[in-house]
């Protein structure tokens, strides 16, 4: 295939169709530029720097939080569009081809709350294993370990009842059936949605990325396949999301999954999930959307959180499923948390993120605000403090200043 000079407009149009998240697109853009500069050789010399730079673990220069599996996801998207980006054409599809479905929501029963909490936040369903990764020099990257804990059914109902919603919606997309189960969202935009993907001929063209995450490589199937589902706010802003596999009950023909998401979701907004089956036509430099459904969820009962403040007046809010923080630091100062620990009144603690622990399923840092979706249930009725050790990095002179911030219950 002949190669053309990198076309940024073509890149943006193509990636808009693929519905990849912003941080994945950033990674793909760098890979694409490297490929254009070096021919067909894919370079990622900055991979280790982006994930473990001196500015902090899992952060990049655009102030967005990175997870080890995100680089792998970027590589998948890159391979899917490499032919498109350096050819003369991209595919389009008619707006009327998209079918819109509104899911019906109702409060979950106590038993449904327990089932959901055990699946999404427990220790039996979702794997904590992560594959060994290397940088471009072949050096093994030291990814942190993740640990899940069992869910107490009484606590789960105390914290989640009235906010977990049963979802009544079944959607067919390109021969695959999506059966939706439960949904919970907190008032800061952290959320989880459980559902099943089934196909009597087998759910194909997916792989595990580590920490329980799965991705679809639809481009590898000449007949087409599922594209990674994408979640949006009601106003149309894409939310960062990750699809986790419930490996204990999934089969070749049924994948039981939990989609975790976060981002700038307003308190009164619902969400939309886009489901796409697409086919790649590398020889023609095109890809075709074979089927697309868009499912909306009008979430009204959202989880409250516990408000905390530190001595500088910076705020944090902890819900049973996630943490959201603001930061008043100067735009030229990068705030890099090295260890985030939630401490309880009974003396126990939950290390949310640290040099040797990764106990979230999704994290995002954008425009002075940070989100963390938990891999366990946080008992907001027993919170004593939120302790964060880290450092500020001056982006101008690259100087660093360590800090130890303690957030306590707001009065």
CATH number of the domain to which 395 belongs: 2.60.40
- Work out the pLDDT band at 97, boundaries 50, 70, 90: low
The pLDDT value recorded for residue 328 is 61
Q: Which residue has the higher pLDDT, 408 or 13?
A: 408
The pLDDT value recorded for residue 118 is 96
| Residue 1 placed within a domain | no
- Work out the pLDDT band at 110, boundaries 50, 70, 90: very high
The pLDDT value recorded for residue 65 is 42
The mean pLDDT of the chain is 81
Are residues 238 and 341 located together in one domain of the fold? no
Q: Which of 233, 265, 297 is the last residue of a domain?
A: 297
Q: Which residue has the higher pLDDT, 59 or 290?
A: 290
Least confident residue range of 52-61, 154-163, 200-209: 52-61
Q: Is pLDDT at 303 greater than 60 in this prediction?
A: yes
| Residue 3 placed within a domain | no
Are residues 162 and 268 located together in one domain of the fold? yes
Are residues 192 and 226 located together in one domain of the fold? yes
Q: Which of 297, 331, 349 is the last residue of a domain?
A: 297
Q: Which residue has the higher pLDDT, 44 or 198?
A: 198
Q: Is pLDDT at 32 greater than 80 in this prediction?
A: no
Are residues 24 and 112 located together in one domain of the fold? no
The pLDDT value recorded for residue 326 is 87
Q: Is pLDDT at 84 greater than 60 in this prediction?
A: no
According to DSSP, residue 3 is labeled: -
Q: Which residue has the higher pLDDT, 341 or 396?
A: 341
- What's the mean pLDDT in 126-137? 86
The pLDDT value recorded for residue 411 is 72
Are residues 271 and 322 located together in one domain of the fold? no
> 3-state secondary structure string, the chain?
CCCCCCCHHHHHHHHHHHCCCHHHHHHHHHHHHHHHHHCCCCCCCCHHHHHHECCEECECCCCCECCHHHHHHHHHHHHHHHHHHCCCCCCCCCHHHCEEEECEEEECCHHHHHHHHHHHHCCCCECCCCCCCECCCCCECCCCECCCCCCCHHHHHHHHCCCCEEEECEEEECCEEEEEEEEEEECCCCEEEEEEEECCCCCCCEEEEECCEEEECHHHCCCCEECCCEEEECCCCECEEEEEEECCCCCCCEEEEEEEEECCCCCCCCEEEEEEEEEEEHHHCEEEEEEEEEEEECCCCCECCEEEECCCCCEEEECCCEEEEECCCCCCEEEEEEEEEEEECCCCEEEEEECCEECEEEEEEECCEEEEEECCCCCHHHEEEEEEEEEEEECCCCCEEEEEEEEEECC
Are residues 204 and 270 located together in one domain of the fold? yes
| Residue 269 placed within a domain | yes
| Residue 2 placed within a domain | no
The pLDDT value recorded for residue 284 is 63
Are residues 78 and 102 located together in one domain of the fold? no
Least confident residue range of 58-67, 149-158, 393-402: 58-67
The pLDDT value recorded for residue 245 is 98
Q: Is pLDDT at 358 greater than 90 in this prediction?
A: yes
Q: Which residue has the higher pLDDT, 218 or 27?
A: 218
The pLDDT value recorded for residue 29 is 53
- What's the mean pLDDT in 319-348? 90
| Residue 44 placed within a domain | yes
- Work out the pLDDT band at 143, boundaries 50, 70, 90: confident
- What's the mean pLDDT in 389-411? 91
- Work out the pLDDT band at 25, boundaries 50, 70, 90: low
Q: For the chain, what is the domain count?
A: 3
Are residues 315 and 381 located together in one domain of the fold? yes
Q: Is pLDDT at 14 greater than 80 in this prediction?
A: no
- Work out the pLDDT band at 79, boundaries 50, 70, 90: very low
Q: Which residue has the higher pLDDT, 355 or 118?
A: 118
Are residues 180 and 70 located together in one domain of the fold? no
Are residues 230 and 352 located together in one domain of the fold? no
Q: Is pLDDT at 263 greater than 50 in this prediction?
A: yes
Q: Which of 242, 277, 297 is the last residue of a domain?
A: 297
pTM here is 0.78
| Residue 81 placed within a domain | yes
- What's the mean pLDDT in 30-45? 38
Are residues 327 and 389 located together in one domain of the fold? yes
The pLDDT value recorded for residue 26 is 53
- Work out the pLDDT band at 5, boundaries 50, 70, 90: very low
| Residue 43 placed within a domain | yes
| Residue 42 placed within a domain | yes
High-pLDDT (> 90) share of the chain, %: 60
- Work out the pLDDT band at 267, boundaries 50, 70, 90: confident
Question: Residue 138 belongs to what domain range?
Answer: 95-297
Are residues 291 and 310 located together in one domain of the fold? no
């Amino acid at each position: 295939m002949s190669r053309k000079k990198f076309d940024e407009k073509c890149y943006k149009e193509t990636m808009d169709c693929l519905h990849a998240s912003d941080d994945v697109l950033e990674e793909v853009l760098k890979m694409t530029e490297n490929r254009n500069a070096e021919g067909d050789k894919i370079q990622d010399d900055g991979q280790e720097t982006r994930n473990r730079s001196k500015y902090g673990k899992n952060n990049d220069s655009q102030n967005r939080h990175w997870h080890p599996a995100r680089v792998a996801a970027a590589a998948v998207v890159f391979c899917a569009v490499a032919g498109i980006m350096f050819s003369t054409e991209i595919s389009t599809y008619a707006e009327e081809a998209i079918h819109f479905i509104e899911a019906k929501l109702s409060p979950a029963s106590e038993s449904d709350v327990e089932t959901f909490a055990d699946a999404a936040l427990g220790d039996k369903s979702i794997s904590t294993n992560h594959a060994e990764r290397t940088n471009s020099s072949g050096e093994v990257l030291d990814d942190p370990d993740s640990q899940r804990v069992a869910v107490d059914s009484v606590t789960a109902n105390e914290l989640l009842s009235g906010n977990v919603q049963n979802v009544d919606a079944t959607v067919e997309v390109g021969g695959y059936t999506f059966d939706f189960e439960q949904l919970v969202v907190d008032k800061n935009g952290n959320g989880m949605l459980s559902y099943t993907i089934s196909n009597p001929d087998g759910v194909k063209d997916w792989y595990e990325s580590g920490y329980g995450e799965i991705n679809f490589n639809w481009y590898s199937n000449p007949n087409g396949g599922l594209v990674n589902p994408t979640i949006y706010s009601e106003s149309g802003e894409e939310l960062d999301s990750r699809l986790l596999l419930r490996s204990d009950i999934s089969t070749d023909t049924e994948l039981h999954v939990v989609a975790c998401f976060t981002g700038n979701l307003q308190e009164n907004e619902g969400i939309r999930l886009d489901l796409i089956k697409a086919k790649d036509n590398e020889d023609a430099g095109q890809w075709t959307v074979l089927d697309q459904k868009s499912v909306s969820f009008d979430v009204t009962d959202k989880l409250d959180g516990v408000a905390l403040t530190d001595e500088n007046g910076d705020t944090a809010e902890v819900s049973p499923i996630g943490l959201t923080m603001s930061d008043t630091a100067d735009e030229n100062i990068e705030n890099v948390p090295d260890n985030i620990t939630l401490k309880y009144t009974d003396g126990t603690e939950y290390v949310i993120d640290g040099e040797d622990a990764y106990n979230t399923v999704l994290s995002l840092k954008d425009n002075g605000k940070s989100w963390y979706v938990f891999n366990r249930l946080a008992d907001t009725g027993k919170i004593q403090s939120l302790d964060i050790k880290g450092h500020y990095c001056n982006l101008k002179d690259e100087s660093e200043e360590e800090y130890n911030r303690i957030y306590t219950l707001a009065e």
